[in-house]
Amino acid sequence: MLLEQYGLLMEMGPDGAAIEGSFWGDEEAGLVGRRLLARSDTPIHSVLHEACHYICMDATRRRALHTDASGDYDEENAVCYLQILLADTLPGIGRERMFRDMDAWGYSFRLGSAKAWFEQDAQDARQWLHHHGLITLQDLPNYQLRA
């Protein structure tokens, strides 16, 4: 339901099968058009990261989307920030788990961890998300997501 509000359809594939549209391969989530593809062993950070790429891109890029979400440095930061915000909306996930998962996978941030980056160095990501109408800043740190 979370992804549907952004026009994204989640499709689960069979365990062990290649995931169509996966940029990283293995068990990592894939994107093809408005379909987010995963398996039961796909990490939640991967699902949220690819979903946030879709949410952050414009309609032109969405229409041509297959495997590589592209985007620039600022958008990538916004994607990482948004996936942490969305993790808070999922029961049993939350931002603390997302920080740990992102660090374990190998996301790299200037301050050495996802949590430090999110709390101390992500103002550019917040501004990007606000500029593109995805969050309101006046409510931070108790942000409001816009669908």
Structural domain harbouring 43: 4-63
Q: Do 17 and 53 fall into the same domain?
A: yes
In a domain, 77, yes or no: yes
Tens-of-pLDDT digits for all 147 residues of the chain? 889 999 999 999 999 999 999 988 899 999 999 999 999 999 999 999 999 999 999 999 999 999 989 889 999 999 999 999 999 999 999 999 999 999 998 887 878 899 999 999 999 999 999 999 999 876 555 555 665
DSSP bridge partners of 145: 135
Phi, psi of 107 (to 5 degrees): -60, 140
Cβ neighbourhood burial of 142 (10 Å; 0-12, 13-18, 19+): exposed
Domains: count for the chain:
2
Residue whose C-alpha is closest to residue 18's, from 35, 1, 47, 41: 41
In a domain, 10, yes or no: yes
What pLDDT is recorded for position 144?
57
Q: Do 83 and 42 fall into the same domain?
A: no
In a domain, 99, yes or no: yes
Q: Do 140 and 77 fall into the same domain?
A: yes
In a domain, 68, yes or no: no
What pLDDT is recorded for position 24?
85
CB within 8 Å of 5: residues ≥ 6 apart: 147
In a domain, 122, yes or no: yes
